[in-house]
Amino acid sequence: MKRSLIFLFAFFISFNGFSQARVIGTVTDAATKEPLIGAYIILKKDPSIGAVSDIYGNYKLELTEGIHELVFKFTGMMNNTIIVELGKGEEETLNVEMQPCSLQKVDVIVGKFD
């Protein structure tokens, strides 16, 4: 009985592992080609599922098979949205270059009124 339970537990874990797919890659600054540390990669339909890039700009995101819309975010950069289709047990590499946001110049007039 004990062996049967161990076998079923091991089978369930291996079966569940194959139903997962993975997206990996690097997030970099398009202008400087430097890695972006701390970039957010989130699933658009469920922002609670996501990853953060490491010190080298690398990330790894475990997802189920299917079509997913990923949003890449970093302060001072424009958000990137990429659609990826993943098969069962597939690993997809997505390297993303993020463009800096351009800030519009605003004139401020300071005056003294008596």
> Does the domain made of 2-98 have the CATH classification 3.20.20.190?
no
Ordered by start, the domain boundaries in the chain are 2-98
Cα–Cα dist 41/28, whole Å: 13
Cα–Cα dist 28/98, whole Å: 6
By the 8 A CB rule, do 14 and 55 touch?
no
Span 60-111, pLDDT tens digits: 999 999 999 999 999 999 999 999 999 999 999 999 999 998 766 666 677 7
Strands 58-64 and 20-29: antiparallel
pTM: 0.73
Indicate the average pLDDT of the chain: 85
- 38-42, Cβ contacts within 8 angstroms, sequence gap of 24 or more: 38/74, 39/72, 39/73, 39/74, 39/77, 39/98, 40/71, 40/72, 40/73, 40/74, 41/70, 41/71, 41/72, 41/73, 42/70, 42/71, 42/73
